[in-house]
Structure formats: structure tokens, C-alpha cells
Amino acid sequence: MKKKEIKFSLVYRDMWQSSGKYVPKVDQLTKIAPVIIDMGCFARIETNGGAFEQINLLFGENPNTAVREWTKPFNKVGIQTHMLERALNAIRMYPVPADIRELMYKVKKAQGVNIARSFCGLNDHRNLELSIKYARKAGMISQAALSITHSEIHTIDYYLCVIDKVVEYGTDEICLKDMAGIGRPVTLGKLVKSIKDRHPKIKVQYHGHSGPGFSVASALEVAKAGADYIDVAMEPLSWGMVHPDVITMQAMLKDAGFLVPDINMKAYMEARALTQSFMDDFLGYFIDPKNKIMSSLLIQSGLPGGMMGSMMADLKGVMDGINRYLKESKQKELSQDDMLIKLFDEVAFIWPKLGNPPLVTPFSQYVKNVALLNVMQLIKGKERYSMMDNNTWDMILGKAGQLPGKLDSEILELAKNQKKEFYKGLPQDAYPDELDKYKEEMNQNGWEFGKDNEELFELAMHPREYRDYKSGAAKKRFEEELKKAKTKIQVTEETPIKTEEKPKAKEKFIDPSWKEVKSTHKGKVYFLGFGEDHLQIGDHVKKGDRLCYVESMLVYYEIKSEFNGRIADISFKSGKQVAKGEVIIRIDA
């Protein structure tokens, strides 16, 4: 009897994304590419996608060059390359007009990307329809991905309904995107078998994070059920909150009777050493050691392992205020572990009430943010849902797609009281075409559209980051951030740092005509951790836009703009103490 063949895909860039803040630069990627090829065990390589290209821009590096140079060696030897994109959100965190989405596939195909892995965080097939059609039109292989989670709603029949629609739209392949690693192995096996029985010609790929510990068993079950490809990682960035290592997967599947490729261990060790050298160079400064640890606590909350870092940062930012309140009210203070358990419990409690959105970017962030604010309000004896940002409301109201479950009556009543209107149309229709606007900006600035319109695409997809890349501001910020990170490590290791030659800080220019935005309370100012807003100098804001929060005695006060204009100055960093009446932001109105 002929053995069933299982092929491996190395998600090299996602290994970094799941571990820390940054991914390798183009010179590092091109250095390791031939070694990965020499390993001889990969049929596919993940090359770019959501967040990766933004990170290139944050480096001050051209993402188009990075994608072309990274895909080139794999294209040459016949290893397929695949990207990850978020359907309505494409490769950013918020919705993208249809004309920009369509351009993306043309550009990525021209740059050497073979497969478009497309997922909708809500599993709304309507958001996937254009992804599938645009990818195929551009000559790419369309791989529609299911956002896997575990609940009474997310049954095999539920997923098969989505499968039937994406097959109808023309997808070539299916991916099980088990982003939190909480898919139950036997259930995933049954799902793959059902897909293969119903659509035998469709290839199936499994992507599972290792955080809660299910992923190795899940890989075995989906392989037995007929899966064709398994996503894997490699040391020193496997396991923990990342993905299982290719060595383990290969040995397990070989023992189970599958035909799997051999691994050139000499090349593996060389690739391992190169990856470690990238960490030693600078990437390791931005990797939280806790991301190397697996945790069964993730099973209950269903949150992706990669979110642990952001959750811990959020908790550190509010612990002082929480314990100060508890101490003053003569209650027992909480440890960070106490707070983490409270947060996990709250996520599990509110998740079904918010319609069971799969906890994947960006919806995992929205649910986590609501949970964090709820925990703080409950500790103070107040009610839940006192504050939810606009992104969360867009999810609740249907602008991002149809929620899998029903909203709780309490959420519906809250929407009614706040006079919120539910969106009934197609999500894409709420975001009209914008490409002409960016063409005009390119022409006004004298910027080249680039080969295959790739520079136009980057501006349209990541306008703020691309402008900062072109001005040099992004590279300067990154270099300053890296310098601070290295200094922090030096201090931790008690290495002497020369301070006598420290240059004097330049006096900051303040235009007296700029409008001042002052703090309404004494407390800590926060720009991050609540939605995806990260205010930067140069951003354009409108009257009524939220600029930041000030946390005072466990209450978060929203600071909104009273002007239309451009952010000219930001006087405080996120998490810093601010006095009532102090200027936080200045706007060139």
C-alpha cells in the first residue's frame, strides 16, 4: 500500500512574529534562505503577510525589496511561497477598500508569492469572496483559511458551511488556522475528514500554535484524516507560544507510517545557528522570555499565545493603580498572577456575550481590552462594559462581518442606550475605493509608483508607516528604540555605561500657534493597549477623535481632540505619570 505523503511548510517569519516585536531584515533573510533550502525538507515557505511589511517600514526598510529578495531563492528551486492576509483587513489591522485589496494580489504575484492564505477573523465567507477571486485573477493559488477556535457554536457543521461557500467562490485549498492552538485534536481530525469527503480534490494545510500543548496531537490527527501540508517551526524559535519543531513532526509522522522528507541535519544546525545570531544581533532584545513557555491556561481563555506579551504589558501598566485602590480600601492586594487569572476568567465570561468572535487578530485584542477594563471596574465595585472603543463597537455592530454567535441581551441594551446602529450590508461596501487618492499623493510628492505599482500599493496599504519610511522618521525611531533596548540590557547585566560624554538633549521646538490638549486628571497616560491606535507625530486627526486615555484611580478617562489637524508634538510616553492640566499633545490645527 502506497504511503500517504505529508509535506512541510516552514513559517519562518511567523516564528519571529509569535516570539517578539520584530522580524529579520532583508539581509538576514537572504542569508538564511539558501540554508533553509539545503535542509531539503520544505515544500513551502511563508514569506510575508499581515504585520510583516509594516515591520519592514518601521525598520526604515523597503518591504517590496524584502519580499522580492526573500521569495527569489525559493522560486528558483521550486519551493512554493505563501503569504498571510486578513480578507477585509488585507495585511493591516483595519478594513481596506476593494481597489487596494485587488492591487495587493497583483503586486504580490509579481514579487514571487505563489499562495495567498486568506482568513477572516469572524469566518464570514462574504469577506473571503473577494480575496479568493482577486487571488485567482492575479494568478495566485487561493488558500482560504478557517479561524479555528473551540465553543458550542464552532462545530464541524459550522465550519463546513464556510467551506462550502469558499469552494463555491473558487478557492484552491483550505487551511485550518489554529491561531491559539486550542483546537481539539480529534475534532480537527474529523473536520479534515469531512472536508476531504465533501471536496476530495481540495488540498488541506494545518497551522497550529504550540502554546496550550495540543498541536502535536492535532497534527497527527489531521494527517491521519487526509491533510496534505503541516506548518512547522525550527529551533531556537519553536515550541513555547510559537509552533512545533520540524524534527518532532517529521519523527512522529514517519513513525505513524507517513511518507515524509528527510532533514539535512547539518543544514538544520547551520540555520539554527544563523537564527540565533539574528537574535544576538538585535532581534532578541524584543523577545519576551515568557513566550518560550507553554501554558495550559490558554485553553480556558482561548487567547492566542502571541498575545501573552501584550497582556503582561497591560497588566504591568495598571497593577500599581489597582493595588493602591485595594490598599486604601483595606482589601488584599493582588499579585500579577492573580490579575492574569482574573483576566483569563473575564475573557472566558464575556466571549460568548460578545458573539463568540474567534480570538484572532484583531478581534482577540478587542475582547482582551474589554476584559481588562471590566476587571478593573469590577474590582472597584462598578459595572462591566463601562468603556469600549470604536473598533470593538464596529465588531459588535457588524461592520467587520457577521458574528458567529448571538450578542447577549445586555450588550444589545447597551447599544440601544448609546443609540448605536447595527450594520446590515456587506462589510466591504462600507469602505469605498481610495486608490486614486494615493495616486494623487504620489504624484504631488514626486514619488515613483514603483515596479508593478508596488510603491503605490505600500502607501495605500500602510499610509502612515510609508510616509515615515520615506521621510526617514521610521528608521530614526527604530535606531533610538534599539539603542534604548541595548542600554537596558547593559544595565541589567551591570555593565558600566559611560555617562560623561552624553550629549545634551536638543531643546524641543514648540510653535506657539499649536493647540494644546491637556490632561483632565492626574494619572497615567495610555496610547497603547486599547484598540490598535498608536498615535504618532504627523498623524492627522479630526475633532472628536480619541487621542489617548488617562487612568486615574482605576477609571479611564477618554481624551478627545477638539480640533481638526496634525499631531505636532507628544509630550508623554504611554504609561507615564501626568498631572492634571499638563499638556499631553499639541495639534497643528
Supply the DSSP string of 204-258, one letter for each residue.
EEEEE--TTS-HHHHHHHHHHHT--EEEEB-TTS-STTS--BHHHHHHHHHHTT-
User: Mean pLDDT, to the nearest integer, of 243-267?
Assistant: 98
Question: Per residue in 26-61, pLDDT tens?
Answer: 999 999 999 999 999 999 999 998 788 999 999 999
Closest CA to 531 of 93, 180, 122: 93
The phi, psi pair for 579, rounded to 5°, reads -90, 155
Crossing angle for the helix pair 156-169 and 125-137, to the nearest 10 degrees: 30
pLDDT-derived band at 529 (thresholds 50, 70, 90) equals very low
What is the mean predicted confidence (pLDDT) over 410-414? 95
Q: Is the pLDDT of residue 306 over 70?
A: no
Pairing of strands 523-526, 577-578: antiparallel
Question: What is the mean pLDDT of the segment spanning 221-246?
Answer: 96
375 phi-psi bin (left φ>0, alpha ψ -120 to 50, beta other): alpha
Best CA proximity match to 70, nearest among 105, 112, 35, 19: 112
pLDDT score of 223 more than 70: yes
Indicate left, alpha or beta for 34 from its phi (over 0: left) and psi (-120 to 50: alpha): alpha
Given CA atoms 127, 191, 42, 137 in this order, what sign does their dihedral have?
Answer: negative
CA dist 143 and 141 (Å) reads: 6
At 336, the amino acid letter reads Q
The CA distance from 23 to 33, in Å, is: 14
Q: What pLDDT shows up at residue 305?
A: 61
Contact 231, 13 (CB under 8 A): no
Q: How far apart are CA 169 and CA 171, in angstroms?
A: 6
> What pLDDT is attached to residue 147?
96
Return the percentage of the chain with pLDDT > 70, whole number: 92
Segment 249-271 mean pLDDT: 98
Q: What is the pLDDT of residue 313?
A: 61
The domains located in the chain, with CATH, are: 7-291 (3.20.20.70), 295-428 (no CATH), 500-588 (2.40.50.100)
pLDDT at 373: 85
Q: CA–CA separation, 368 vs 391, rounded Å?
A: 13
Of the listed ranges 62-71, 87-96, 498-507, the one predicted with least confidence: 498-507
Query: Between vectors from CA 526 to CA 520 and to CA 531, what angle results, nearest 5°?
Result: 120
| Cis amide leading into 362 (omega within 30) | yes
pLDDT at 291 over 70: yes
Name which of 235, 184, 191 is nearest 208 in CA terms. Answer: 184
Kindly report, residue by residue over 120-175, the tens digit of the pLDDT.
999 999 999 999 999 999 999 999 999 999 999 999 999 999 999 999 999 999 99
